[in-house]
Amino acid sequence: MPIIRVAINVPVDTLFDYLAEDASPNDIGLRVSVPFGKKKMIGVIVAISASTSIDAEKLKTAYCIFRETKPLPASLLELFQFCSQYYHHPLGMVILNSLPAKMRHNKTIQIKKPASDQSFELTPIGKQIDVAVIPARNRVARRLLSAFLQTPLLTETQIKQISPRANQWLPQWIQQGWITVKPASAKTTATAVTSPPVLTTDQEAAVQAITSHLKKFNCWLLHGVTGSGKTEVYLRTIESVLKQGKQTLVLIPEISLTPQLETIFRSRFAATPMVSLHSGLNDTERLSGWLQAQSGVAKIILGTRLAVFTPLPNLGLIIVDEEQDSSFKQQDGLRYSARDMAIFRARQHSIAVILGSATPSLESYHNALSGRYHTLRLQSRAIRNAVLPQIHLIDTRTSKIQDGLTEPLIQAIHQCLIDKNQCLIFINRRGYAPVLLCKSCGWSAVCQRCSSRLVVHLRDKQLSCHHCGHQESFPRACPQCGNQDLAPFGQGTQRVEEALAASFPAARILRIDRDSTRRKYAWRDMLQAIHKQQVDILVGTQLLSKGHDFPNLSLVGILNADSSLYSTDFRASERLFAQLMQVAGRAGRAQIAGTVLIQTEFPSHPLYQALQHHDYDGLAHILLTERKTAEFPPYVFQALLRGEAHHLNQVLDFLNQARKLAKPPKTVELFDPVPAQMHRLKGLERAQLLIQSTSRKQLQDFLTKWWMQIQVLTNHKVRWMLDVDPLEF
């Protein structure tokens, strides 16, 4: 009888053997239900063999192999294998966690027949309808109409994605002559709906370079200033790939960016089946998108980090947008980098991968300088006459700050409102104020479970920890001295919003941060309001800075950026620069000239100077030189052995024991265990040990051996894991 080797979602790095009489080599990559201890578990078959080292009497028989879906392709299993080895994470956990939740259940999947997918098109009459004629209580109808007004041709699937109940409005609207039905057969693949712009010389060169080498592995670093039209380069290369009948995987850092990109892609490739895969979907939606990708029906797959593990039988191109973004690296469990996995996948399939950014990560920039990646530069803004914004520094040592805002910034906002343009005030801290302080003894409210302060959320009279989610109500008096004069200290988005409302009572102000966008369609509604000019002043965190295109934004004000200038994290400057470039890049993208005002105490700091001159290369060279001298990445490769437990001593003891076991070669260096920068999180103490080497290969070889040795250290009090290429310390 054949033996199947099964990967199961358990924290042991081994495969489990079972008898399966009906198994054949075609079943590799299928899900299987097996007995595991006293439980029934789901696994994935990764190999079939004729023999096993398990004793005959101990060998169990699999319950059943699920054959309703196609198996995971061999190349994907190979990717999982690589991922498991490189990040030192059990294969079964790697595989099972990559699957949609419904595939992790121990039962057959009900595959619904896909919708006929006829399309509906807005008529000239429909185009005249104002969303306001629909009563506000019919929220779904309003959303549907706005969607039509943005993209006049929508498929049934797209309509269902707006809301499962959205299609109930269609018959009535057809009758009213607002929309017409387009049969599914009327569609052809890869026809442009919106007419594409004439490419700029830089775009043309980039598209030419990429599309003439599509069938060969190449990593292209598409380095283009904000507003240079990177998206258009993506669209043209995707078009080329669609013509070959192949799939494109587009990875983006944030779920909030999906609606905007989705709209752009849909209006260019209206007839092309496309799916989005991100954590905002429910289990059914996610499964359905995943299956469409796996079957090859979906030609464009737009997703966040996890989408890199989607089975794609006909992959022709991978795009990683905003490649420098740290959200591509998962920060718990399997600590993988989706960008790096994307590159591995492109190499596997001998296809192109595009890393797009205005401020590439120093790792990628270094790879481009050394010739491992090919650089494509887009030097100027794509829209004719649009120029990069003017950046000015407001010295806060001479300009007094009131409620977080200086007089020159207030003046500029005032002028912006008179000109009927929009402005954006950026402050990367949500809540009202970062600290609640006792004015008489200096006590401040801290989280009991984390080494962090509690943030003041004035509106709901709560103090909240942004690390663990803990909330408590305001204390009546200082717990230390009894004084009742407790005051919020510093600025958060809510306080800035309040201050702006006081200064500009007639202005329409919209705050965009994680609190205000929590509701499911909040983002979409807010973006629409901005595009329809229903907002004058935007106040927001980095949520706003990424990728969004606001054509009427002429002024950006940046508050409180200084705090990251002198951080102990060696990547802080790189990140701050990328973030500020991105925010600054929101200004003046169309016909309006943009201005950026930065309030700072350190106007002569090299980072601000580089920013002012839009000089990424200048700063990158300074930072790379520093990294080289200090032996930091990208000149060395790093890994962290992380541990957490109830007491710091337990963690440090464990790390010291692990260190004693290590027999590193000369090229691999182990440092002393130290507490993590955030040493307490969610009630656990955390510490870590840094390992680094100039050779990635030697580091890997060492980690593999060492990992096995650490396994033997039985210390149940400490939870530990290896973090390869760590971004957080």
Q: Does 443 contact Zn ion by CB under 5 A?
A: yes
What φ, ψ does residue 14 adopt, rounded to 5°?
-150, 160
Q: Does 182 contact Zn ion by CB under 5 A?
A: no
Q: Does 438 contact Zn ion by CB under 5 A?
A: yes
DSSP class of residue 198 equals P
Binding mask 180-219 for ligand ADP (x = CB under 6 A): -----------------xxxx--x----------------
Q: Does 478 contact Zn ion by CB under 5 A?
A: yes
* Number of residues this chain uses to bind Zn ion (CB under 5 A): 14
Q: Which stretch in 147-155, 285-293, 385-393, 457-465 sits in contact with Zn ion by CB under 5 A?
A: 457-465
Q: Does 436 contact Zn ion by CB under 5 A?
A: no
Whether 486 contacts 477, CB under 8 Å: yes
Q: Does 251 contact ligand ADP by CB under 6 A?
A: no
Q: Pick from ligand ADP, Zn ion, none: which does 227 bind, CB < 5 to 8 A by kind?
A: ligand ADP
Tell me the C-alpha to C-alpha distance, in Å, between residue 495 and each of 96, 404, 430, 492, 540.
44, 9, 9, 5, 11
**Joined tokens for residue 228:** 């240079």
The residue among 221 and 438 lying less far from Zn ion, judged by its C-beta, is: 438
| Closest distance to ligand ADP from the beta carbon of 692 (Å) | 34
Binding mask 395-434 for Zn ion (x = CB under 5 A): ----------------------------------------
| Closest distance to Zn ion from the beta carbon of 512 (Å) | 24
| Closest distance to ligand ADP from the beta carbon of 328 (Å) | 17
The residue among 293 and 386 lying less far from ligand ADP, judged by its C-beta, is: 386
Binding mask 533-572 for ligand ADP (x = CB under 6 A): ----------------x-----------------------
**Joined tokens for residue 607:** 């980072």
Q: DSSP letters of 450-474?
A: SSSBPEEETTTTEEE-TTT--EEEP
Whether 725 contacts 637, CB under 8 Å: yes
Per CB under 6 A, contacts with ligand ADP among 381-420 are 382-383
| Closest distance to ligand ADP from the beta carbon of 88 (Å) | 36
Q: Pick from Zn ion, ligand ADP, none: which does 484 bind, CB < 5 to 8 A by kind?
A: none
**Joined tokens for residue 405:** 């805002």
Q: Does 323 contact ligand ADP by CB under 6 A?
A: no
The residue among 614 and 682 lying less far from Zn ion, judged by its C-beta, is: 682
Whether 592 contacts 421, CB under 8 Å: yes
The residue among 82 and 443 lying less far from Zn ion, judged by its C-beta, is: 443
Tell me the C-alpha to C-alpha distance, in Å, between residue 506 and each of 414, 422, 509, 537, 609.
11, 14, 9, 11, 35
Measure the CA–CA gap between 642 and 88, rounded to whole angstroms.
13
Q: Which stretch in 168-176, 212-220, 462-470, 685-693 sits in contact with Zn ion by CB under 5 A?
A: 462-470
Q: Which stretch in 288-296, 365-373, 440-448, 564-572 sits in contact with Zn ion by CB under 5 A?
A: 440-448
- In the set 160, 470, 531, 719, which binds Zn ion (CB under 5 A)? 470
Q: DSSP letters of 326-377?
A: GGGB--SSS--BHHHHHHHHHHHHT-EEEEEESS--HHHHHHHHTTSSEEEE
Q: Does 454 contact Zn ion by CB under 5 A?
A: no
Q: At residue 696, what is the residue type?
A: R
Binding mask 664-683 for ligand ADP (x = CB under 6 A): --------------------
Per CB under 6 A, contacts with ligand ADP among 565-604 are 589
In the sheet that holds 455-457, the strands lie side by side as: 455-457, 462-464, 471-473
Tell me the C-alpha to C-alpha distance, in Å, between residue 14 and each of 7, 59, 89, 98, 154.
8, 15, 11, 18, 47
| Closest distance to ligand ADP from the beta carbon of 381 (Å) | 7
**Joined tokens for residue 79:** 């990717």
Measure the CA–CA gap between 376 and 446, rounded to whole angstroms.
47
Q: Does 434 contact ligand ADP by CB under 6 A?
A: no
Binding mask 37-76 for ligand ADP (x = CB under 6 A): ----------------------------------------
Whether 611 contacts 391, CB under 8 Å: yes
Per CB under 6 A, contacts with ligand ADP among 327-386 are 382-383
The residue among 218 and 231 lying less far from ligand ADP, judged by its C-beta, is: 231
Measure the CA–CA gap between 199 and 204, rounded to whole angstroms.
6
Tell me the C-alpha to C-alpha distance, in Å, between residue 3 and each of 52, 59, 63, 671.
7, 9, 13, 45
The residue among 197 and 665 lying less far from ligand ADP, judged by its C-beta, is: 197
- In the set 46, 222, 450, 655, which binds Zn ion (CB under 5 A)? 450
| Closest distance to ligand ADP from the beta carbon of 252 (Å) | 11
The residue among 227 and 389 lying less far from ligand ADP, judged by its C-beta, is: 227
The residue among 162 and 378 lying less far from ligand ADP, judged by its C-beta, is: 378
Burial of 136 (C-beta count, 10 Å sphere; 0-12/13-18/19+) = exposed
Give the residue among 571, 587, 581, 589 at the shortest CA–CA distance from 611: 581
Q: Does 248 contact ligand ADP by CB under 6 A?
A: no
Which residue spans within 547-591 are E strands per DSSP? 553-558
The residue among 186 and 481 lying less far from Zn ion, judged by its C-beta, is: 481
Q: Does 238 contact ligand ADP by CB under 6 A?
A: no
The residue among 182 and 531 lying less far from ligand ADP, judged by its C-beta, is: 531
- In the set 5, 160, 182, 449, which binds Zn ion (CB under 5 A)? 449
Scored b (16 or more CB within 10 A) or e, 536-567 reads bbbbbbbbbbbbbbbbbbbbbbbbbbbebbee
| Closest distance to ligand ADP from the beta carbon of 382 (Å) | 3
**Joined tokens for residue 7:** 């990967």
Q: Mark residue 336 as left, alpha or beta (left: phi above 0; alpha: psi -120 to 50; beta: remaining).
A: beta
Binding mask 215-234 for ligand ADP (x = CB under 6 A): ---------x-xxxxxxx--
| Closest distance to Zn ion from the beta carbon of 435 (Å) | 13
- In the set 483, 534, 649, 711, which binds Zn ion (CB under 5 A)? 483
Whether 578 contacts 326, CB under 8 Å: no
Q: Pick from ligand ADP, Zn ion, none: which does 203 bind, CB < 5 to 8 A by kind?
A: ligand ADP
Burial of 495 (C-beta count, 10 Å sphere; 0-12/13-18/19+) = buried
Q: Pick from Zn ion, ligand ADP, none: which does 449 bind, CB < 5 to 8 A by kind?
A: Zn ion
Give the residue among 527, 725, 728, 727 at the shortest CA–CA distance from 83: 725
Q: What is the CA radius of gyration of the chain?
A: 27
Q: Does 455 contact Zn ion by CB under 5 A?
A: no
Strand 119-122 and strand 179-182: the pairing is antiparallel
Q: Does 468 contact Zn ion by CB under 5 A?
A: yes
Q: Pick from ligand ADP, Zn ion, none: which does 200 bind, CB < 5 to 8 A by kind?
A: ligand ADP
Measure the CA–CA gap between 559 and 600, rounded to whole angstroms.
8
Residues that bind Zn ion (CB under 5 A): 438, 441, 443, 447, 449-450, 465, 467-468, 470, 478, 480-481, 483
Residues that bind ligand ADP (CB under 6 A): 197-200, 203, 224, 226-232, 382-383, 549, 589
